[in-house]
Amino acid sequence: MTMKKASKGRQMKAAARLYAVQALFQMEASGQTVDAVLREFEEYRFGATYEGEQMAEGDPVLFRRLVEAAVNWQARIDQMTDRALVEKWPIARIDPTLRALFRAAGAELIEGEAPPKVVISEFVDVAKAFFPEGREAKFVNAVLDHMAREARPEAF
């Protein structure tokens, strides 16, 4: 595998993680089913052109696995997130984008193949895409570190 192919694969995985957060946010905000959201993203967003801008191609296998796992494991992921948050800030009180991010990352920590530190780093980058000022990225890093140690303690 050439470096260029490896780089493209990493970019597709990064896009899949970003799209998973967007899909989970959309499901919560609109009440759409998981099947409807998966279909919409796979058919109309991956690689699409909007207002002259080319959207990234996402890894469809990773995207689907993250969204489905986040839905299937939502109660467990939300409990892990609650335990990682400050006592007075349950998951229901945090920003819905962050909630979607924690669910996607939690899904990858529970079912994924990537090492927890890679998952944390990748989702901190996703947080930076949504919150460029940086405060949230530090918060995401701390919460995901706690969640990773709970989900995959053998990796630490």
Q: Residue 68 sits in a domain of what CATH number?
A: 1.10.940.10
pLDDT recorded at residue 55: 77
Instruction: Give residue 37's pLDDT band: very low, low, confident or very high (50, 70, 90).
Output: very high
pLDDT recorded at residue 72: 97
**C-alpha–C-alpha distance, residues 87 and 137, integer Å:** 20
**C-alpha–C-alpha distance, residues 107 and 72, integer Å:** 9
Contact between residue 81 and residue 91 where contact means Cβ atoms under 8 Å apart:
yes
Instruction: Give residue 8's pLDDT band: very low, low, confident or very high (50, 70, 90).
Output: confident
pLDDT recorded at residue 135: 86
Domain count of the fold of the chain = 1
Given the structure tokens 């006592």, which residue do they identify?
87
| Partner residues linked to 50 by β-bridges | 53
With a cut of 50, say whether residue 82 has pLDDT above it.
yes
pLDDT digit string (tens) for 99-149?
A: 999 999 999 999 988 999 999 999 999 999 999 887 899 999 999 999 999
Give the HSE-up count for residue 71: Cα atoms under 13 Å, Cβ half-sphere: 19
Structure-block tokens of residue 151: 């989900």
Residue 53: domain span? 3-155
Of 50, 49, 95, 104, the C-alpha closest to 72 is 104
With a cut of 50, say whether residue 77 has pLDDT above it.
yes
With a cut of 80, say whether residue 50 has pLDDT above it.
no
**C-alpha–C-alpha distance, residues 27 and 21, integer Å:** 10
Strands 53-54 and 49-50: antiparallel
Instruction: Give residue 4's pLDDT band: very low, low, confident or very high (50, 70, 90).
Output: low
**C-alpha–C-alpha distance, residues 5 and 72, integer Å:** 32
pLDDT recorded at residue 3: 43
**C-alpha–C-alpha distance, residues 118 and 124, integer Å:** 10
**C-alpha–C-alpha distance, residues 60 and 15, integer Å:** 10
- Give the contacts of 97 (CB within 8 A, at least 6 positions apart): 21, 25, 130, 131
